Chains A and B, each alone.
Chain A
Amino acid sequence: MKAISMGPAKAAQPPADGERSANFSLLRLSALRKMRVVEAPVPLLELAGVSKRFDPPAGTGSLVILEEISLEVRAGESVAVVGPSGSGKSTLLHLIGGLDRPSAGKVLLEGRDLGQLSEVQLAFVRNRLLGFVFQFHYLLPQCTVLENVLVPTLAGVGAESPGPNNPTRCEESPEERAIRLLKRLGLGERLDHRPGELSGGERQRVAVARALINQPRLLLADEPTGALDQASARELGRLLAELNREERVTLIVVTHSMELAAGMGRVFTLSGGRLQPSPAAPGTPPPTS
């Protein structure tokens, strides 16, 4: 692991007052990118006392979904979070992915507090540092498989320059990379097909390729096999594990499937708003709470 250079990181400190006041310049975006330059001894992801509660109508108590969750995930790791429906697994993943903001605590990605980032900065993070795979594929029905995979490259933020720690970026065009990924995922023959012409498993694999197109540091999968049959689910689980190794992408999977969870390096159980190491995965160190 390389160390995070705190100098540039400070220079890149983004304003925290949301999209409206975000005068997020290219300079700051490039500073964010420079975070990749140095291997850091700090974890890739760190949750520090993260809580999430909803305020229901007046007169009733607030609904606590997550309570004081702390967790560290290092680069290259694969982590599974399991738990019963409504336990807050997806909420946890949304917080990690910057899709939602915690009520308390911090979500630190490569040492940066996501809660302090503006909408534009968060969009950059989602586009360049994170990859998402949802339970439903959310492919654009109007686009072909290849086009769907390329959609993230159309986002304006920071898409104009490749990351220096990914030499392949200089050699590969997004299209070449998309084709390579799709071939890797067994969809080499389906490039020009529309999502409607694919099976559920194939669609989910396209979604995985889409999540990986910008070479994210962290891949977040929310019930990726939830809508698949057993064989497709198993196949996807295998591919995710392989990609974790091959693409050096850190993987966090939220799932009901113990089989999928078992393929991950560490497994946690979310219950009653708290995250506990799962006995199903003996290698799982306890959370840092």
Chain B
Amino acid sequence: MTRRSLIQRSLRFHFRSHLGVVAGAAIASAAVVGALVVGYSLRVTLRDRALERLASASFALDGGDRVFGRALAGRIAGSERQFDPPLHLRAAGSGEERGAPAPQVVALLRLPAIATRADAAARANQVQVLGVDADFWRFAGVLPAPAIPEGAVMVNAALAARLSLQPGDPLLLRLGRRGALSADAALATREPGPRALRLRVDRVLSAAEGGDLTLHSGSAPPLNAFVNATELEAAAGLTNTANLMLAGPARPGSSLPDRGALELLNARLRQNWTLDDADLRLADAPAPWDLELRSPRVFLEDHVTGTALRLGPANTTVILTYLANLLVCGTNAAPYSMVTAAGAPFTPPDLAEDEILINEWLARDLKAGPGDTLALSYFLPESGAQLREATNHFRIRAVVPLAGVYADRSLMPDFPGLEKAETTRDWDAGFPLVYRIRPQDEDYWRQWRGTPKAFISLAAGRKLWANRFGNATAIRFPLPPGLPRGAHRDHLSAQLQNALDPAQLGLRFEPVRERALRAAGQSQDFGQLFLGFSLFLVVAALTLMGLLFQFGLEQRAAEVGTFLALGFTPREVRRLFLWEGAALAGLGAAAGTGGGVLYAQGMLWGLQTLWRDALAGSGVDFHVGAPPLLLGFGASAAIAILTLGLALRHQGRQPAHELLSGIPRAVLAEESPRRAFWLMMAGGLGALAILGWVIARGDTTNAGAFFGAGALLLLSGLAAVAFRLKQPWRRRRHSQASLLEFSLRNCARRPSRSLATVSLLASACFVILSIGVFRLEAGRDASRPGSGTGGFAFIGESTLPVTQDLNQPAGREFYGLDARDLADARVVPFRVRDGDEASCLNLNRAQQPRLAGVQPERLTGRFTFSKAARGLDRGRGWELLRAQVAADEIPAVGDANSIQWSLGKKVGDTLDYRDEQGRLFKLRLVGAVANSVLQGMLVIDEAAFVKKFPSESGYRWFLISVAPDRAAELAAALSRALQDRGLELAPATARLNAFNAVQNTYLGAFQILGGLGLLLGSAGLGIVVLRNVLERRGELALLVAVGFRRGRLSRMLLSEHGALLAGGLALGMLAAGLAVLPSLLAPGLDFPVISLGLTLAAVLANGLAWVVFAIRVALRGNLLSALRNE
């Protein structure tokens, strides 16, 4: 005989009565394991999807607006069989790194497009068109590699679904055209109309076939169309070019080692890129120079200019040529002339910044000479479509001949629309020709083309025309001494390639696989979330288990007494029972682990159906693995054992003779109610203090305060119940005891049992009620500027950038809108840098969130700032975007939910971001707006945006406000006018509701699972009733014997247990009501009376049903026989 065998005997003997304990542990375990399996499934699904959307790519080079030669990919992949690791990896690297196979690198041309069904029945904006060849399919592991014939298109399942496309259906793709010069430049061609491609759907691609290729994580798969690369390049006028490179392992499915591989790829890129890949050209230059560096992008970036100057010999010349709209001297004016800013030999070294040289043609034309004042008018280079004109005055220093260096037509850069025009009538400029072009101007163009008519110093020119795209239009290099003329080009080209870092030109591989895996790995922890949702189910199951265990112990009180009498210490007795309980908990947890898998499947089903908004429509596949099962089993067994330990903590403390006498302790001796009293007071005062603080601060949305106050109130209430139950019951003297009083008195017979019941019901009721109040409704106060919509009626997103200002008559006119269409409407445009969607709709953790640039003053008074970084005043509102921060930081504002959940950050934190030139900078989260449509992105000042992302031209995201009665009209007009830009308008309330749906769905899930907990709690109440009544059968039989009718007994028992039910519900309601009082006091929040009333009624009815059922079962049969048994 050992203790172990004693425990085994007890387990076997009491197995039937232990079943309830095992069931309780199993339910708790099922809920825990289920929640963990849901979390695991989501993580695995997100991981799978992340890898699928990258189509085997480990690294990607996203040129964005820049294109490079398609051949670059081949050069990077190289012909070598082995992928040489860098030296430091060779020394310490693993075998895998040392002998890693060469990577595959493929180039694609990716363009934004608008897809329309041929019958115009449906349209999809934000479509990615990808020009691919057979290499891409091999890269993606799609074998045999499908060939896309010309005239055909393959679409991914998402696009097919959006447009209801089947193989064979015709499809119209309107491609966004990209100009070399940024559309934001004043001289750029204005929004060329999209080119259309009429294609036939060849095949619908699945995600596994690379169909969902995208570099950014989002809530939904992208809309992709795959077109033959040659056909797309031809259509876009970008022959043999690409703007996206993917690098991956030689065998799809395997992976490149992350460490070192990125370094290797970028090293290879540096070795193999050419000037052409960065839109840089070395052209012949007239004497006295030999070569000229220029770009179809017109302007040369600052660091290109700097590097070139560093490399070039001493007399290397920087040239900045710009268009003067008008040159005026006195009453004479010459329109549309080129003016060059440069040093020697064009201008003398002592040329002052307000002096100008004019050529003899202009001097003649303006009848101007040295000493005269010349007014020079020009478009501010960055004024974009707004074409703001400025005028500067110069003193004419001298008149230069139209010969030699002054007769050089190549000084004019390749201004789009001008450089190939034979006559001024052929100009296809991005600006209206408002000044009259005279015949002599036409003659000059015909004879001299863009030969500058005036020259100013480089310093003066840069003051006028330097801009974010660059500060030079050409750099001219003389032939270095000792270098043969033919060798100069190769020499200089090699020098430039070595000295320039392609990363600074936006050509850089990024570790997209690692980033995607990190995004999936750090995703919203649904395991934790569902664990929270299931909390009440777990608590209810554990309470029930504890109750049943305790009932079992109560039945075995004599056994405990015997152990004590035989010399066991109380601790030994408790340990014996705890081991027994642990075995039951383990058994229950094991059974629950199996049940948890089913529970998880049920919740996943719920996520696909009832709660589909929580996943923004994207599905989750069921995955089960050892980690959630083992963790769930261990955790649930541990908490079950802990619960049983708590249930046991009083066991063995009762004297042996009391236990042996069979009289329950509560009847014999009362514990001191003092502790309960102090708990009641402390809880109540604490809750009141929090509520007062919240009301005084006006911080009515403070969730922490809500839970704090609610929990304290509940605690206080439960302590009050405990206090009352432990107080001796005193009847008023000389009054007749009523049946009700008699019933209530019975509640105090087993205080802990009654308290457990009330606690369970009160807590569940509290949560269900209070959570219901927090459902979000976007329609509420939507027109208020401080609301989540910012008072805006619409959110617009365009596929192609909109460069015109829709608030200006000229901008409206450009799109064919008249003043009436946009009367009373305000449009706030945002520049957009694509990135991960940082909203609750995207379950991945956003690594590089979408960034939006806006002029802060346009949002003044819009949205409500919930928080500002330490040291900053949130009352500053959008001015926070211009807050003083460290030199390498940019202030950013985001939605509070996005910052907390999607980015995993808090206000005041920084976020690393990479600018267009590959340089890291920090976004400082200076403020957060509450529950807004700004979810999904971070907002920065537009001025900072254009500095960091100069190539991102135009605006692609809009907030539009308009009077409600004009909303429909405006939407129709805008959608029609900006159809070619792929503008998609959505009501702001609908967008906010989509975001809110996630939180509301969470609340719904919490309520449903909390309801299950309450159901279990009610079942627990039924068990308590059954137990109470069965225990007292003898006593009840006596009442029958003295004349009580069975109905009266039922009423007595109903009052007794109804009091517990009503007490629990009332306490829960009171705590919830008081705790949400601050929110109820806030304007605009409606109390969902009906739904909550129905919930409460259901809870009450359910509880009563259990009580009645238990009483009927317990009073069944011949009660009087119990007397005989006594």
Task: For B564, list chain A residues within 8 Å (CB).
Answer: 99, 123, 126
Residue from B3, B10, B569 having most chain A Cβ neighbours under 10 A: B569
Encoded as 1 (CB less than 8 Å from any A CB) or 0, chain B from 338 to 366 comes to 00000000000000000000000000000
Q: Nearest CB to that of A120 among chain B residues?
A: B569
A138 touches B558 (CB 8 A): yes
Task: For B14, list chain A residues within 8 Å (CB).
Answer: 142
Given the known interface contacts A147-B9, A155-B572, the answer about A140 and B562 at a Cβ–Cβ threshold of 8 Å is: yes
Say yes or no: is A146 at the interface (Cβ < 8 Å to chain B).
yes
Residues facing A in B7-38 (CB within 8 A) are 9-10, 12-14
Per the bound structure, the CA–CA distance linking A138 and B565 in Å amounts to: 10
Task: For B657, list chain A residues within 8 Å (CB).
Answer: 90, 94, 99-100
Return the contact of A138 from the options B2, B3, B562 (Cβ within 8 A): B562
A154 touches B1 (CB 8 A): yes
Per the bound structure, the CA–CA distance linking A211 and B568 in Å amounts to: 13
Per the bound structure, the CA–CA distance linking A3 and B9 in Å amounts to: 44
Say yes or no: is B1059 at the interface (Cβ < 8 Å to chain A).
no
Say yes or no: is B442 at the interface (Cβ < 8 Å to chain A).
no
A143 touches B9 (CB 8 A): yes
Task: For A94, list chain B residues within 8 Å (CB).
Answer: 655, 657
Say yes or no: is B439 at the interface (Cβ < 8 Å to chain A).
no
Task: For A210, list chain B residues within 8 Å (CB).
Answer: 566
B570 touches A19 (CB 8 A): yes
Given the known interface contacts A100-B655, A142-B12, the answer about A127 and B728 at a Cβ–Cβ threshold of 8 Å is: no
Q: How far is the CB of B14 from chain A (nearest CB, A)?
A: 7
Per the bound structure, the CA–CA distance linking A146 and B5 in Å amounts to: 13
Per the bound structure, the CA–CA distance linking A157 and B566 in Å amounts to: 11
B566 touches A155 (CB 8 A): yes
Q: Nearest CB to that of B556 among chain A residues?
A: A140
Task: For A143, list chain B residues within 8 Å (CB).
Answer: 1, 6, 9
Per the bound structure, the CA–CA distance linking A94 and B561 in Å amounts to: 12
Say yes or no: is B656 at the interface (Cβ < 8 Å to chain A).
yes
B569 touches A19 (CB 8 A): yes
Per the bound structure, the CA–CA distance linking A190 and B655 in Å amounts to: 32
Q: Nearest CB to that of A151 among chain B residues?
A: B566
Task: For B561, list chain A residues within 8 Å (CB).
Answer: 138
Say yes or no: is B805 at the interface (Cβ < 8 Å to chain A).
no
Task: For B569, list chain A residues within 8 Å (CB).
Answer: 19, 119-120, 123, 155-157
Say yes or no: is B559 at the interface (Cβ < 8 Å to chain A).
yes
Say yes or no: is A36 at the interface (Cβ < 8 Å to chain B).
no
Per the bound structure, the CA–CA distance linking A250 and B570 in Å amounts to: 27
Residues facing B in A73-120 (CB within 8 A) are 90, 94, 97, 99-100, 119-120
Per the bound structure, the CA–CA distance linking A156 and B571 in Å amounts to: 10
Per the bound structure, the CA–CA distance linking A136 and B656 in Å amounts to: 14
Say yes or no: is A141 at the interface (Cβ < 8 Å to chain B).
yes
Task: For B571, list chain A residues within 8 Å (CB).
Answer: 19
Q: How far is the CB of A20 from chain B (nearest CB, A)?
A: 11
B559 touches A151 (CB 8 A): no
Task: For B5, list chain A residues within 8 Å (CB).
Answer: 147
Say yes or no: is B660 at the interface (Cβ < 8 Å to chain A).
yes
Return the contact of A154 from the options B3, B570, B728 (Cβ within 8 A): B3
Task: For B566, list chain A residues within 8 Å (CB).
Answer: 126-127, 132, 151-152, 155, 210
Task: For B655, list chain A residues within 8 Å (CB).
Answer: 94, 99-100
Per the bound structure, the CA–CA distance linking A41 and B559 in Å amounts to: 38
Say yes or no: is B567 at the interface (Cβ < 8 Å to chain A).
yes
Q: Nearest CB to that of B11 among chain A residues?
A: A142
Q: How far is the CB of A93 from chain B (nearest CB, A)?
A: 9
Given the known interface contacts A119-B570, A147-B6, the answer about A99 and B1 at a Cβ–Cβ threshold of 8 Å is: no
Task: For A57, list chain B residues within 8 Å (CB).
Answer: 728
Residue from B563, B565, B568, B572 having most chain A Cβ neighbours under 10 A: B565
Q: How far is the CB of A131 from chain B (nearest CB, A)?
A: 9
Task: For B565, list chain A residues within 8 Å (CB).
Answer: 97, 99, 126, 132, 134, 138
B570 touches A142 (CB 8 A): no
Task: For A128, list chain B residues within 8 Å (CB).
Answer: 567
Task: For A153, list chain B residues within 8 Å (CB).
Answer: 1
Q: How far is the CB of A155 from chain B (nearest CB, A)?
A: 4
Residues facing A in B555-592 (CB within 8 A) are 558-559, 561-572
Task: For B1, list chain A residues within 8 Å (CB).
Answer: 143, 146-147, 150-151, 153-154, 175
Q: Nearest CB to that of A153 among chain B residues?
A: B1
Task: For A138, list chain B residues within 8 Å (CB).
Answer: 558-559, 561-562, 565, 660
Q: How far is the CB of B1044 from chain A (nearest CB, A)?
A: 27
A-B contact pairs, 24 of them (CB 8 A): A19-B569, A19-B571, A90-B657, A99-B565, A123-B567, A127-B566, A127-B568, A130-B567, A132-B566, A134-B565, A138-B559, A138-B660, A142-B12, A142-B13, A142-B14, A146-B1, A147-B1, A150-B1, A151-B1, A151-B562, A155-B563, A155-B568, A155-B569, A157-B567
Residues of A within 8 A of B (CB): 19, 57, 90, 94, 97, 99-100, 119-120, 123-128, 130, 132, 134, 136, 138, 140-143, 146-147, 150-157, 175, 210, 214
Q: A140-B10, A140-B562, A151-B1 provided; 7 other pairs, C-beta below 8 A?
A: A90-B657, A99-B565, A123-B569, A147-B5, A151-B563, A154-B3, A155-B572
